[in-house]
């Protein structure tokens, strides 16, 4: 009986120790968390002057020109998903040393489109970094170092307007 009580006490101590360790891990928060949903949407959304089908194909052109691989499309729902891998350097901290490790992290771009009037297509794009290979998580500062979403959106929409124009003019 005493042995069973000792075992129970040890298990109880281990469980409290593990609960206490949970506070040591930081939850990674995306950089956009300090903005409202309306502010984020205003950066991700544009009305493009172009027929729906033309704009859909131009979106795929732009993503491929930006180095993405198209992994999923659905013209009926206006959905395109594309991924590219970015080479990053991760600092691994050990007990008494640190080392640099190069690895890849996927950047995913998701685009949704819908007809928005005569000759106008509403386009919304979203991008984020996925999990680093090897299960390492990037904190908000590291994410910002490798991906600036607002810059990405500006570049994407500037290129999209050009691509739609080229497709309309059949150039």
- Mean pLDDT (the chain) is 80
Predicted confidence at residue 21, as pLDDT, reads: 38
Does the structure show a pLDDT above 90 at 157?
Answer: yes
Predicted confidence at residue 69, as pLDDT, reads: 97
Q: What is the mean pLDDT of residues 97-106?
A: 82
| In contact, 82 and 109? CB cutoff 8 Å | yes
CB burial string 56-71: b at 16+ within 10 A, e below:
bbbbbbbbeebebeee
Q: Give the CA distances from residue 158 to residues 59, 100, 153, 171, in Å, rounded to whole numbers and listed in that order.
A: 11, 36, 8, 17
Q: What is the mean pLDDT of residues 70-84?
A: 96
Domain 29-168 has CATH 3.40.190.10: no
- Tell how far CA 79 is from the center of its chain: 16
Rounded CA Rg of the chain:
23
Percent residues over pLDDT 70 in the chain: 76
* pLDDT 10s digits, 39-67: 888 889 999 999 999 999 999 999 999 99
**Strand pairing category for 120-129 and 45-49:** antiparallel
* pLDDT 10s digits, 7-43: 454 444 444 444 443 333 232 334 445 678 888 888 8
* pLDDT 10s digits, 126-148: 998 887 766 666 667 777 777 88
Tokens for 4, please give them.
């069973």
Nearest to 132 by CA among 101, 109, 93: 101
> Quick one: DSSP state of residue 97?
-
Q: Give residue limits of the domains in the chain.
A: 29-168
């Amino acid at each position: 009986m005493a042995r069973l009580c000792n075992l129970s006490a040890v298990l109880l101590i281990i469980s409290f120790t593990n609960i206490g360790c949970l506070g040591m891990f930081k939850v990674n928060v995306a950089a956009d968390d300090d903005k409202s949903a309306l502010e984020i949407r205003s950066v991700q959304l544009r009305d493009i002057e172009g027929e729906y089908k033309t704009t859909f194909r131009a979106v795929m052109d732009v993503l491929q020109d930006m180095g993405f691989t198209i992994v999923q499309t659905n013209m009926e729902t206006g959905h395109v998903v594309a991924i590219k891998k970015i080479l990053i350097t991760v600092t691994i901290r050990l007990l008494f040393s640190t080392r640099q490790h190069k690895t890849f992290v996927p950047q995913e771009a998701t685009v949704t489109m819908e007809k928005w009037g005569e000759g106008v297509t509403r386009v919304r794009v979203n991008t984020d970094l996925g999990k680093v290979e090897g299960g390492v998580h990037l904190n908000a500062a590291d994410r910002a170092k490798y991906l600036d979403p607002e810059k990405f959106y500006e570049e994407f929409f500037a290129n999209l307007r050009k691509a739609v124009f080229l497709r309309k003019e059949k150039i």
